[in-house]
Structure 1
Amino acid sequence: MARHDEVLIALRQIIRATDLYSRKLSKVAGLTAPQLLILQAIASRGEMTMGDIATEVSVSQATVTTILDRLEKRGLIERKRGERDKRRVYAYLTTAGRDIMERAPTPLQDEFMARFERLEDWEQSLILSSLQRVAAMMNAGDIDASPVLDLGAIDRIQPNGDGQRRRRDSSSYQPDRK
């Protein structure tokens, strides 16, 4: 087998592993990876502003707001104005939010990071430079991406109660028909 075929197979395996994890997370907890990361960030601090969440999870504040809207509709978080500064809005986990986090699998990138950190510095550098070169070879070097292993739009809608997806990503938006 040609080396380029082996590289393409390895890339496909990475994409497939990410897809399978995303499906598992959706099936088990009804969440996307970014939703889970945001819930984890809030859980770790007890309360967070939208800006703090955006910084912690490495996504835009607009994306955080969109995701929090969806989590709030599901009753997983609440937003409240600050006691001292009414301009600040804080997100809190609800009991339902804590319950769903207990059921959710560990984020895929957490497992990856733990294994990656155990590698020698030279091996980490080799992997990083190789992946950066692959991204450049695929004309993906300028694509904005956060460190969240997930497929599709980062703020996409998950299945609703009847298992139907409302939106996969911004390029294929289909409003609900009731």
Structure 2
Amino acid sequence: MLPSQAAQSDPESEPNRSTEPDVVRSVIRQLRVIIRALQGHSRMVERACGISASQLWALWELQRTPGLNVSDLSRRLSVHASTTSNLLDKLEQRGLIERRRPEKDQRIVRLYVTDPGMELLDRAPAAPQGELNRALQSLPIGRLDELNQSLDLLVEAMNTTEPRAGLQPFDGKS
């Protein structure tokens, strides 16, 4: 059998031709549950704290590891550095974080949560991204790899016109 014939006879490699509409509906429902849970939690965070869920997540990360730079924080939040800078501008304007240049190289900026930021964190609920992160980390690595591969296939099949969408924070506003 030729490799191309093997791929054609492999049911896992064949696209769904609506032969399993119940499975498709189930996946859509599960995605809605996840999205709505994130949206609801994001709205609750904003009501409780007066800041966005993304801003709260950034504060949590800076509390956990004081002195991060923008690049390190961007990696932890899985967002683009320019998005992180904009988020930090808002937190700094509210007096919740401060930027320090303690090193000889003044180009390096270290980030710290201020006392008002710590007070906000003391009364804040968990950020929704943190809850999603916690849930994903609780999965066995094999299942997490399978989920990642399946989501890669789904994103690819959607032919998205927004390749950088994954580098933008989710604030539950849509």
1:48 corresponding residue in structure 2: 68
Select the residue among 55, 60, 75 that pairs with 1:35: 55
* Unpaired stretches in structure 1, ≥5 consecutive residues: 153-167, 169-178
State the AA in 2 paired with 1:114: R
Select the residue among 117, 131, 149 that pairs with 1:129: 149
State the AA in 1 paired with 2:156: A
* Structure with bigger gyration radius: 2
State the AA in 2 paired with 1:96: P
2:172 corresponding residue in structure 1: 151
List, as ranges, runs of 4+ consecutive aligned residues in structure 1 with deviation greater than 4 Å: none
Select the residue among 62, 71, 86 that pairs with 2:106: 86
| Deviation readout 1:46-75 (Å, 9 max, x if unpaired) | 223223322332322222221111111111
User: Does the aligned pair in 2 maintain the 1:132–1:141 contact within 8 Å?
Assistant: no
Equivalent position SS for 1:133 = helix
1:119 corresponding residue in structure 2: 139
More relative contact order, 1 or 2 (CA 8 Å, 6+ apart): 2
| Deviation readout 1:112-139 (Å, 9 max, x if unpaired) | 3333334334322332233222222322
TM-score (norm 2): 0.72
Equivalent position SS for 1:28 = helix
- Separation in 1 of the partners of 2:25 and 2:93? 45
2:16 corresponding residue in structure 1: none
1:156 corresponding residue in structure 2: none
- Separation in 2 of the partners of 1:130 and 1:52? 28
State the AA in 1 paired with 2:172: L
- Separation in 2 of the partners of 1:49 and 1:119? 29
1:158 corresponding residue in structure 2: none
TM-score (norm 1): 0.71
Query: Structure 2 vs 1, CA of residues 50 and 109 (structure 1 numbering), >3 Å: closer, same or farther?
Result: closer
User: Does the aligned pair in 2 maintain the 1:49–1:89 contact within 8 Å?
Assistant: yes
2:10 corresponding residue in structure 1: none
Residue 87 of structure 1, CA deviation: 2.8
Select the residue among 128, 133, 141 that pairs with 1:108: 128
Q: Work out the percentage of aligned pairs sharing the same amino acid.
A: 31
Query: Structure 2 vs 1, CA of residues 94 and 122 (structure 1 numbering), >3 Å: closer, same or farther?
Result: closer
How many pairs are equivalent? 153
Equivalent position SS for 1:71 = helix
| Deviation readout 1:138-177 (Å, 9 max, x if unpaired) | 223862214955435xxxxxxxxxxxxxxx9xxxxxxxxx
2:87 corresponding residue in structure 1: 67
